Amino acid sequence: MLYAASGGFCAFSGCKSRLIDPQSGVLLGELCHIHAVSPGGPRHDPAQSKDANNDVSNLIILCPTHHSLIDQLPQEYTARSLQIMKQQHESRVADLLTSAAIGLSDQQAKDLSRRIDDESVDFAIVVALPKELAAVRSYFPELVKLAPSLTSTRSYYSGSIPTTHGGSYRIVVTLLHTMGNLEAAHATSDLIREWNPRFVIVNGIAAGVSREKQEFGDIVVSSSVVYYELAKLRAEDQERRSRQFPADPSLLDGALNLTSPAWRTGLPPRPDGTFADALKPRIHFGPIASGDKLIAATNAVQNLRSLQSDLIAIEMESAGVASAAFSVVKKVGFLAIRAICDFADESKDDRWQEYAATSAASFLRSFVGSRPVPLSEGNWPKAELPVQMPGSRISTTQRKKLFEHLCRAFDMEEFKNLCFLLGVDIDEVPGDRKSARVRELILRFERYGNLDVLEEAVFEDSADWSAERQFKIGATSIP
């Protein structure tokens, strides 16, 4: 039963080891007790009966390496974490077999695999400090640290998080190696490549900008992130050329409509001896400034507020995370959820950092639990999938020619005009560089079988392209 449910693979999160050696046919998998049978054994539960100890629910099948690992580290690999690991692995196998049995098209299988593959998640959470990671793990006890990967230098924690309306999300959490937007961008790029998330969220602490309107521990949620470091230096002064990254509208809507005050009830006493109540900490929505400087000067805060009058907080990582999320061809939604630990002035210190990290993590748990976006588990409704039209793919040479021509022949303003004429909303073509948007536009038309529409618009007067064209597409509707 365990072998079948495990699909022939080790059930340890992230492990790709087969339970049978394909060359020799030797059985490598080992049946492991979650609660040890013998007193003194790993995770032994004296209240559990002999029959329960040997029931399939108390067994997980692993490769020899991970069997040894969980028994040597029972404090880290608790019974609860192993039960979650077993459930997640067996559910993924069942979903994959179900999708194969009902027969999906190539496109449907690709989209479904993104939702149920063990390296695909709903929410990717990025934190900058160990105390922020500790806070997140305390409010997400389902998280399990994954075994080191041969293809990554970063550690990840993953788990399945239930919602109050039923179902669950898969999430992964990573800790930055250092503070700052550059490291945040690198880490997020790695995370997206490894896990293919639907959304990425920055969680942790930030500096407030108004002692009159804000308090320590208050939540700040980004309507946008303003990267303020870009500037033109002139002899007499400098001209700021800030860049804004808008929050994902679905995530922002979910945060705006999170009305339950339950996230406040689990907060510890505040450093000043007071306690949270039904109204405090409060929640603020607005632009968050993100740069590469640790600010502890009132005049610097005032300068940033003159740049963005409705600013609600200042920090050092969200712009890097947002930039990475906006750069990928397949759009990844972004949001920053932080809590105020200081006010970036001369009195700045670390006294409120742990409380603020706790406040941010508690709000994040309630936010995820409220099911702000549709679940991605289970069978993908076929009606939601774009139909791949026969013959709508092009050769590598043709794709390269179309890509290079779009990049070379159109500046950004002309590219926007092209999208307008084609009936495509430019905001639906993600990417922070023109080349990234060009890639996404080509993929968009290809998915809907309308490459002829894009080709005719781009090469309307090009006899060369028409002569080289080796495919014919019948669809004419605009995606």
Q: Domain range for residue 257?
A: 113-369
Which of 33-42, 142-151, 392-401 has maximum average pLDDT?
33-42
Give the global pTM: 0.58
The mean pLDDT value for 292-309 works out to 85
Report the C-alpha gap between 254 and 260 in whole angstroms. 12
Report which of residues 148 and 134 the model is more confident about: 134
Please say if the pLDDT value at position 392 is more than 50. Answer: no
CA 437 to chain centre: 21
Of the chain, the percentage scoring pLDDT greater than 90 comes to 38
Closest among 296, 337, 318, 298 to 228, alpha carbons compared: 318
Please say if the pLDDT value at position 425 is more than 80. Answer: no
Q: What is the pLDDT of residue 389?
A: 39
Are residues 292 and 336 in contact, defined by beta-carbon separation less than 8 angstroms? no
The mean pLDDT value for 372-394 works out to 49
The values of phi and psi at residue 225, to 5°, are: -120, 130
β partners of residue 240: 231
Q: What is the pLDDT of residue 117?
A: 47
Question: Based on the domain organization, do 397 and 308 belong to the same domain?
Answer: no
Comparing 114-128, 159-173, 300-314, 389-403, which segment has the lowest mean pLDDT? Answer: 389-403
Residue 475 resides in a domain: no
pLDDT bracket for residue 467 (50, 70, 90): very low
Question: Based on the domain organization, do 319 and 439 belong to the same domain?
Answer: no
Are residues 206 and 341 in contact, defined by beta-carbon separation less than 8 angstroms? yes
Report the C-alpha gap between 410 and 437 in whole angstroms. 12
Question: Based on the domain organization, do 141 and 21 belong to the same domain?
Answer: no
Q: Amino acid identity of 91?
A: S
The mean pLDDT value for 200-216 works out to 95
Residue 194 resides in a domain: yes
Question: Based on the domain organization, do 135 and 76 belong to the same domain?
Answer: no
Domain end marker among 82, 103, 124:
103
The values of phi and psi at residue 141, to 5°, are: -65, -15
Comparing 317-321, 352-356, 416-420, 428-432, which segment has the lowest mean pLDDT? Answer: 428-432
Residue 473 resides in a domain: no
Q: What is the pLDDT of residue 465?
A: 44
Question: Based on the domain organization, do 196 and 89 belong to the same domain?
Answer: no
Question: Based on the domain organization, do 423 and 350 belong to the same domain?
Answer: no
Q: What is the pLDDT of residue 120?
A: 67
The mean pLDDT value for 455-471 works out to 53
The mean pLDDT value for 327-340 works out to 89
Residue 126: enclosing H or E segment and its boundaries?
A: strand 123-127
Comparing 3-7, 238-242, 473-477, which segment has the lowest mean pLDDT? Answer: 473-477
pLDDT single digits (tens) 153-163: 899 999 999 99
DSSP letter assigned to residue 18: B
> Which residues contact residue 369 at a Cβ distance below 8 angstroms, ignoring those fewer than 6 apart?
161, 162, 163, 164
Residue 32: enclosing H or E segment and its boundaries?
A: strand 30-33
Please say if the pLDDT value at position 318 is more than 90. Answer: yes
Residue 375 resides in a domain: no
Residue 379 resides in a domain: no
Report angle CA 361, 366, 372 to the nearest 5 degrees. Answer: 115
Domain end marker among 74, 103, 132:
103
Question: Based on the domain organization, do 194 and 289 belong to the same domain?
Answer: yes
List, as one string, the DSSP characters of 52-118: HHTSGGGEEEE-HHHHHHHHH-TTTS-HHHHHHHHHHHHHHHHHHHHHHHH---HHHHHHHHHHHST
Please say if the pLDDT value at position 189 is more than 70. Answer: yes
Closest among 307, 319, 13, 59 to 182, alpha carbons compared: 319
Q: What is the pLDDT of residue 125?
A: 97
Question: Based on the domain organization, do 96 and 168 belong to the same domain?
Answer: no
Please say if the pLDDT value at position 458 is more than 80. Answer: no
Question: Based on the domain organization, do 344 and 405 belong to the same domain?
Answer: no
Of the chain, the percentage scoring pLDDT greater than 70 comes to 83
Question: Based on the domain organization, do 39 and 166 belong to the same domain?
Answer: no
Report the C-alpha gap between 345 and 300 in whole angstroms. 9
Report which of residues 29 and 478 the model is more confident about: 29
Please say if the pLDDT value at position 470 is more than 50. Answer: no
Cα 341 to Cα 303, 391, 439, distances in angstroms? 20, 57, 41
pLDDT bracket for residue 394 (50, 70, 90): low
pLDDT single digits (tens) 230-282: 777 777 777 777 788 999 999 999 999 998 888 998 899 999 999 998 889 99
Q: What is the pLDDT of residue 337?
A: 98
Please say if the pLDDT value at position 140 is more than 90. Answer: yes
Cα 395 to Cα 43, 462, 472, distances in angstroms? 56, 19, 12
Report which of residues 451 and 185 the model is more confident about: 185
The values of phi and psi at residue 245, to 5°, are: -120, 110
Please say if the pLDDT value at position 406 is more than 80. Answer: yes
Q: What is the pLDDT of residue 384?
A: 35
Comparing 186-190, 317-321, 454-458, which segment has the lowest mean pLDDT? Answer: 454-458
Q: Which two tokens stand for residue 369?
A: 């639990």
Which of 8-22, 92-106, 286-300 has maximum average pLDDT?
286-300
Please say if the pLDDT value at position 468 is more than 60. Answer: no
pLDDT single digits (tens) 74-93: 888 898 888 888 888 888 88
Q: Which two tokens stand for residue 295?
A: 């600010």
Q: Amino acid identity of 165?
A: H
Residue 377 resides in a domain: no
Q: Amino acid identity of 374?
A: P
pLDDT bracket for residue 432 (50, 70, 90): low
Report the C-alpha gap between 34 and 44 in whole angstroms. 8
CA dihedral 131, 194, 105, 474 (to 10 degrees): 110
Are residues 76 and 145 in contact, defined by beta-carbon separation less than 8 angstroms? yes
Instruction: List the CATH number of the domain containing 211.
Output: 3.40.50.1580
Q: Which two tokens stand for residue 23?
A: 């060359």
The mean pLDDT value for 187-206 works out to 93
Are residues 219 and 360 in contact, defined by beta-carbon separation less than 8 angstroms? yes
Closest among 416, 418, 392, 400 to 474, alpha carbons compared: 392
> Which residues contact residue 138 at a Cβ distance below 8 angstroms, ignoring those fewer than 6 apart?
358, 361
Q: How many domains in the chain?
A: 3
Q: What is the pLDDT of residue 320?
A: 94
Question: Based on the domain organization, do 429 and 362 belong to the same domain?
Answer: no
Q: What is the pLDDT of residue 382?
A: 31
Domain end marker among 369, 400, 424:
369
SS percent in the chain: helix, strand, coil, step 5: 40, 15, 45
Residue 381 resides in a domain: no
Residue 441 resides in a domain: yes
Question: Based on the domain organization, do 98 and 179 belong to the same domain?
Answer: no
Comparing 92-101, 102-111, 300-309, which segment has the lowest mean pLDDT? Answer: 102-111
Which of 27-41, 246-260, 405-419 has maximum average pLDDT?
246-260
> Which residues contact residue 212 at a Cβ distance below 8 angstroms, ignoring those fewer than 6 apart?
none
Cα 347 to Cα 207, 290, 351, distances in angstroms? 12, 20, 11
Closest among 153, 245, 147, 247 to 193, alpha carbons compared: 153
